[in-house]
A = this chain, B = another copy of it.
Amino acid sequence: MKQQILVYILISFAFFSCLSPQNNEIEEEKKIGPITIVIHGGAGTILKKNMTLEKEQAYREKLAEALNLGYEVLENGGTSIEAVASSIRILEDSPLFNAGKGAVFTNQGKNELDASIMDGKTSKAGAVAGVTTVKNPIMAALAVMENSPHVMMSGGGAELFAVEQGIEIADSGYFFTKRRYNSLRRIQKKEEEQSAYLTENPDYKYGTVGAVALDSDGNIAAGTSTGGMTNKRYGRIGDSPIIGAGTFAENASCAISATGHGEFFIRNVVAYDIAALMKYKQLSLEDAAQEVINKKLVEQKGSGGIIGLDQAGNITMTFNTAGMYRGYIQQKDNAVIKIFGE
Contact = CB atoms under 8 A, between A and B. Distances in A.
Contacts of A152: 236-238, 242, 266
Interface residues of A, number: 46
Interface in A55-73: none
What is the total number of copies of this protein in its complex?
A: 2
Interface in A228-275: 232-238, 242-245, 248, 262-263, 266-269, 272-273
Contacts of A154: 129-130, 154-155, 235-237
A182 interface: no
A210 B195 CA distance: 37
A340 B136 CA distance: 47
Given A244-B245, A276-B273, A280-B280, A267 B236 contact: no
A109 interface: no
Interface stretch (A29-37, A91-99, A156-164, A308-316): A156-164
Interface stretch (A7-15, A82-90, A143-151, A170-178): A143-151
Contact of A263 (B150, B235, B245): B150
A216 interface: no
A248 B269 contact: yes
A150 B262 CA distance: 9
Contact of A234 (B157, B243, B263): B157
A281 interface: yes
Contacts of A160: 233-234
A118 B268 CA distance: 12
Contacts of A268: 123
A16 interface: no
The 6 A-B pairs with the shortest beta carbon distances in the complex, nearest first, are A157-B235, A280-B280, A276-B276, A244-B269, A157-B234, A154-B235
B269 A234 contact: no
A233 B267 CA distance: 28
A118 B266 CA distance: 11
A108 B248 CA distance: 32
A242 B268 CA distance: 12
Nearest to A268: B123
A125 B118 CA distance: 24
Interface in A163-206: 197, 199
A86 B238 CA distance: 27
B245 A266 contact: no
A123 B267 contact: yes
A157 B280 contact: no
A121 interface: no
A213 to B, nearest CB: 19
B245 A243 contact: yes
Interface in A105-153: 118, 123-125, 129-130, 148-153
Given A237-B129, A273-B276, A281-B280, A267 B158 contact: no
B276 A158 contact: no
13 contacts: A129-B129, A149-B199, A150-B263, A151-B266, A151-B267, A154-B236, A158-B235, A160-B233, A161-B233, A243-B245, A244-B272, A272-B276, A277-B280
